[in-house]
Amino acid sequence: MATTTTRPAASSTSVENSLAAAKLPTYALWIVFGVSFAVVGAVLLLIAIASEAEFNYAGWLIIGGLLYALSTWLFSSLVEGRRRGMDRFITALVIGAFVIAMIPLISVTWTVVSLGAARFDIEFFSYSMRNVTGEGGGALHAIVGTLEMTGMAALISIPIGLMTSIYLVEYGRGAVARGITFLVDVMTGIPSIVAGLFAYSLFSIFLGPGTRTGFAGSIALAVLMIPVVVRSSEEMLRLVPNELREASYALGVPKWLTIVKVVLPTSIAGITTGIMLSIARVIGETAPLLIAAGFTASMNYNLFEGRMSSLPVFVYTQYANQGNPPEAYLDRAWAGALTLIIIVMALNLVARLVARTFAPKTGR
């Protein structure tokens, strides 16, 4: 039996190939871009002139961006087809999301630098707030407090954190290691204010209610810092290739010496970076120090005696307890914020540099 297959008749209507269809030239999008921002800018400028208000830059950016996204979508849908139109629309939205995220960053930086510069002077770094009302005074007591408390917190948490990560990577097996990993996870999620409450209740139970010392602040910071140190060091230790350990064992080197002489030197750059980033994270903490260490206007070099100010708490108290004239207090708050940001950014920058400079040379 002969089967006859009927061939599909050549379709008379040609299927439109959407990808080979008309394509907008690149400059067309730039024209749309320019026109949308120019139109929105002109409208906002008219509004600003009419109401004698300042030109609204954020509004210009946001409305202009939205207009651009919508008009490329319309334009491209008409010329290039629905699918390409959607693609261009999403591209505009995705770029817009990044630009929107840059607005607070630029705004914060600009505000802190411009307002903080007013009191960013020598007096600010050489005086405390003792007997200062109104203008003058400085944040030396807060800077000293921040350095001492953060230093103490680092002294507590670096050994514990580093040894825990060594335990997890080199020794830990089975349920115990899983349990500790779980607990570190839980610790990562402790809200900073809860860490402050913990340190406060610890000291008020043993040393009487209302005890606030710099050391309590260090304990609160250490609770926040340990899980970060564990996490980053663990990650770095796991990056050390197993071949290095095995080569060392094969030469008869004991395990602890392998860790000290082979594993740690290989990963030291990454560990240092992680530790510096964790310090940068806790040095800006306000709430736990406000609760555990309190605040004071005087110098206090003793971690174990009396309340201790820190830079973030100084910023907060200067803002919250404004006296007369309020500008003096606000200027000090902004100068403190500027100092804090410079410290944190410097730590971040140095940490990245360390990671880049001292990274182990891979053989290939």
Partner 1 sequence: MTTTTQAPPIRGKQRAGDRVFSGSAVFAGAMILVTLGAVAIFLIVQSVPALFATSENASILTTNFWDYVWPLLFGTVWAAALALIIATPLSIGIALFISHYAPRRLASVLGYIVDLLAAVPSVVFGLWGIGVLAPAVQPLYSWLVDNMGWFPLFAGPVSGTGRTILTAAVVLAVMVLPIMTAINREVFLQTPVLHEEAALALGATRWEMIRTAVLPFGAPGMLSAGVLGLGRALGETMAVAMVLSATGAVTFQLLTSVNPSTIAANIALSFPEAYGININVLIATGLILFIVTFGVNALARWVVSRRKEFSGAN
Residue with smaller CB distance to partner 1, 5 or 32: 32
Q: Does residue number 94 form part of the binding site for partner 1 (CB under 8 A)? A: yes
Residues 133, 258: Cα–Cα separation, whole Å: 59
Q: Does residue number 61 form part of the binding site for partner 1 (CB under 8 A)? A: no
Residue with smaller CB distance to partner 1, 271 or 340: 340
Give the DSSP per-residue string, 300-329.
---TTSS----HHHHHHHHHHT--SSHHHH
Count of positions on this chain that bind partner 1 (CB under 8 A): 94
Positions in 309-328 near partner 1 (CB under 8 A): 312, 315-316, 319-320
Residue with smaller CB distance to partner 1, 2 or 219: 219
Positions in 186-205 near partner 1 (CB under 8 A): 186-195, 197-198, 200-202, 204-205
Collect all residues with Cβ–Cβ distance below 8 Å to 116 and sequence separation of at least 6. 334, 335, 336, 337, 338, 339
Decide: helix, strand or coil at residue 125.
helix
Tokens matching residue 39: 């139109």
Positions in 118-157 near partner 1 (CB under 8 A): none
Q: Give the number of other Cβ atoms within 10 Å of residue 251's Cβ.
A: 8
Residue with smaller CB distance to partner 1, 6 or 206: 206
**Rounded to 10 degrees, what is the CA torsion of 164, 170, 175, 178?**
60
Residue with smaller CB distance to partner 1, 187 or 268: 187
Positions in 293-312 near partner 1 (CB under 8 A): 294-295, 312
CB of 62 to partner 1, least distance (A): 10
Q: Does residue number 73 form part of the binding site for partner 1 (CB under 8 A)? A: no
Single out the segment in contact with partner 1 by CB under 8 A; choices: 38-46, 81-89, 118-126, 233-241: 81-89
Residues 139, 123: Cα–Cα separation, whole Å: 9
Residues 340, 337: Cα–Cα separation, whole Å: 5
The 254-293 contact track toward partner 1, x by CB under 8 A, reads xxxx-xx-------------------x--xxxxx--xx--
CB of 86 to partner 1, least distance (A): 6
Q: How many residues are recorded in the chain? A: 364
Tokens matching residue 303: 């971690």
